[in-house]
Structure 1
Amino acid sequence: MSAGIIICAAGMGLRFISAGGDGLKLNAKLPDGMSVFEQSLDHARASGLPVLVITHPQHESVIEICSAANVPYVTLSSPSLGDSIACGVRSRPDWLGWIIHLADMPFIGAETFRQIENALRHCPSVRPFFREIPGHPVGFSKICQPELLSLQGENGARKVLTRFAPLQLNVTTPDVLSDIDLPDHLITGQL
């Protein structure tokens, strides 16, 4: 068994909607025609690592995509990141580590996931950095499991990173900083 990827897809994307976005941002189309979620999932799966999606029961399109691709998912009524992380870790206690991937970061490539998984074999947590700026996804080894299981609320895993300072994994692509928060980011990503 290795570390696996938990894709956190339970958020409601309220900033995206309030800025004029049409519906759930995970359904929004990127320039290549894929949805934000489809591309995030494809890149995670291309890593060859196990994948688990945590999504909201109202996100029917995410559930349909997972079902069609035979990707396991768990529904969670809370949109908070901390609750999603705890749910994912609770659902996959046998993994040797958990790479927490935010579903609205569709530009992260498969190699980044593999680099994080490899680094997790030697340290408690790993975070990619681009030009000294911390990015995502963040990986946690088995030693962090009790703290991850206790997470709740919007702060994600910040307190775990405080206790287990992450290895700085320097990457050459800004994709680890690019997410989709507003409709304009569908073309450019957010840096």
Structure 2
Amino acid sequence: MQNILLAAGLGTRSGGEKLLLPYKGQALVAHAAQQSLKAGLFTIVVTGFRNEEVELALKEMACPNLVLVHNDNYTQGQGSSTLVGAKALRENEDFFISLADMPLIEAEHYHLLAKKFSSSDALRPIYQGQIGHPVLLRANFKALILAQPIPFTMQGLLQEFHVELCVVDDEAFVRDIDTIHAYAELLIHPRP
């Protein structure tokens, strides 16, 4: 399988810092990419804001399964980054879309969702009523994403399809780091 890892946003609520903050000895974005690779996923990291710093944070893990692509239009939202990432997807292969600011997502979380993926068009985790990430999509979504006008949202696109919800008991699927306060909480209380 493969994974579009979105790492292009402005991160305005964290002062643009969040993806470069240290976590477990590396930048948050590097931790996210490392876990995706550890899960055995062909990983496409979409950069945007502060792309040179993000690329530098990922330099040590360069390998054939890690591809970096840049979204020049990252200010147009996640949809634009998803589209750029979709261009680099391999053909006829299901894929995840994940967010680089969710540090509790590890290889095992990808494996759990992959095992639960059955006959639906897409699969999303749901934790205590909150829908989370990563999202797992059938291979045919590549063409659908590439056909979308910018701006668009995956949430809007998915409304037309059967999305199975996978009930999970791990807040990793919904815990993101949008603010410096959330980052401080992560360091003090990594798990509830």
TM-score range with shorter-chain normalisation? 0.7 to 0.9
TM-score (norm 2): 0.84
* Candidates 128, 136, 157, aligned match of 2:154: 157
Q: How does 1:1-191 map to 2 (within 5 A)?
A: 3-17=1-15, 23-30=16-23, 32-56=24-48, 58-70=50-62, 71-79=66-74, 80-120=77-117, 122-151=119-148, 152-153=150-151, 156-189=153-186
Query: CA separation of 1:96/1:121 partners in 2, compared to 1, >3 Å: closer, same or farther?
Result: farther
Q: Contact 1:126–1:140 (CA<8 Å) still a contact in 2? A: yes
| Deviation >4 Å, runs of 4+ | none
Q: Specify the code of the residue in structure 2 equivalent to 1:76.
A: N
Separation in 2 of the partners of 1:67 and 1:95?
28
Q: Percent identity?
A: 23
Separation in 2 of the partners of 1:103 and 1:182?
14
Unpaired runs of 5+ in structure 2?
Answer: none
Residue of structure 2 in register with 1:20 after alignment: none
1:107, distance to aligned residue in structure 2 (A) = 1.0
TM-score (norm 1): 0.85
SS in 2 for 1:62: helix
Q: Specify the code of the residue in structure 1 equivalent to 2:170.
A: T
RMSD: 2.2
Unpaired runs of 5+ in structure 1?
Answer: 18-22
Aligned residue pair count? 182
